[in-house]
């Protein structure tokens, strides 16, 4: 199972943003156990889909407002209805991950047993750093492409040439990162399933 713990950055010097993030996550992502505030400015949810977990983690980390920790391992069953009442190694790994995320590349970390956790974490941190360093124009073009628009449609929407769209996508490594994001998500699903098979303690 995949447990994601999210902690608000610089919460002492700004407003509480947990409730607004909870509403957004509830509307955009399907979880085994929905995200809930666990303590103070922290929230937590449980997922079983690695592709979705990766998309969520990168999405939240990209805002620059949150530290995101992903824990992979087994959970005690039957799982309680409330996320904050959950127990098991996956929750413990998520706690370790979010603490490390506070000082990690891209404000994102992943913890779990074995070397696979380190490899997936490295991929996610690289993706998070690329996301953070894109220019505004590159991000604008890439977001439209990720929504299903063709380069020609993006060019018409932004009132620029198709060659300019292609250049913006290339500078932001959009196709390369999309491929790596998908592969990392699939790897996370496989890793999580292996841990559920009895190796996650």
pLDDT, tens only, 114-164: 999 999 999 999 999 999 999 999 999 999 998 999 999 999 999 999 999
Contact 128, 108 (CB under 8 A): yes
Domain span including residue 90: 2-114+188-199
Lookup result for tokens 């509480």: 16
Q: Within a domain: residue 95?
A: yes
Task: Enter the pTM of the model.
Answer: 0.89
Dihedral sign, Cα of residue 188, residue 131, residue 69, residue 24: negative
Phi and psi, residue 184, nearest 5°: -65, -40
Contact 122, 105 (CB under 8 A): no
CATH number of the domain bearing residue 84: 3.30.70.270
Position 197 scores a pLDDT of 62
Q: Are residues 78 and 146 in the same domain?
A: no
Q: Within a domain: residue 130?
A: no
pLDDT of residue 110 exceeding 70: yes
At 16-25, the pLDDT tens digits run: 899 999 999 9
Any idea how long the chain is? 201
Position 10 scores a pLDDT of 78
pLDDT of residue 85 exceeding 90: no
Q: Within a domain: residue 24?
A: yes
Q: pLDDT averaged over the chain?
A: 92
Residue closest to 168 by CA, chosen among 131, 137, 128, 132: 137
At 190-199, the pLDDT tens digits run: 999 998 765 4
Q: What does the DSSP assignment read for 49-91?
A: -HHHHHHHHHHHHHTSSEEEEEEES---SSPPSSGGG--SHHH
Give how many domains the chain has, as a whole number: 2
Q: Are residues 65 and 139 in the same domain?
A: no
Q: Cα separation of 132 and 4, whole Å?
A: 20
Q: Within a domain: residue 58?
A: yes
Q: Cα separation of 122 and 127, whole Å?
A: 9
């Amino acid at each position: 199972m995949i447990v994601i713990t999210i902690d608000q950055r610089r919460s002492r010097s700004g407003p509480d943003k947990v409730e607004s993030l909870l509403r957004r996550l509830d509307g955009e992502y399907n979880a085994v156990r929905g995200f809930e505030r666990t303590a103070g400015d922290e929230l937590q949810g449980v997922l079983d889909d690695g592709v979705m977990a990766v998309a969520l983690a990168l999405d939240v980390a990209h805002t620059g407002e949150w530290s995101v920790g992903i824990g992979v391992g087994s959970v005690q069953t039957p799982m309680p209805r409330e996320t904050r009442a959950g127990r098991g190694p996956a929750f413990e790994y998520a706690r370790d991950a979010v603490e490390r995320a506070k000082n990690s590349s891209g404000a994102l970390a992943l913890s779990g047993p074995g070397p696979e956790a380190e490899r997936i974490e490295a991929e996610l941190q690289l993706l998070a750093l690329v996301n953070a360093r894109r220019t505004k124009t590159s991000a604008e073009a890439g977001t439209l492409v990720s929504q299903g628009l063709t380069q020609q449609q993006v060019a018409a929407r932004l009132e620029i040439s198709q060659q300019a769209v292609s250049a913006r996508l290339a500078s932001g490594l959009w196709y390369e990162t999309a491929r790596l994001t998908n592969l990392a998500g699939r790897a996370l699903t496989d890793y999580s399933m292996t841990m559920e098979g009895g190796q996650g303690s």
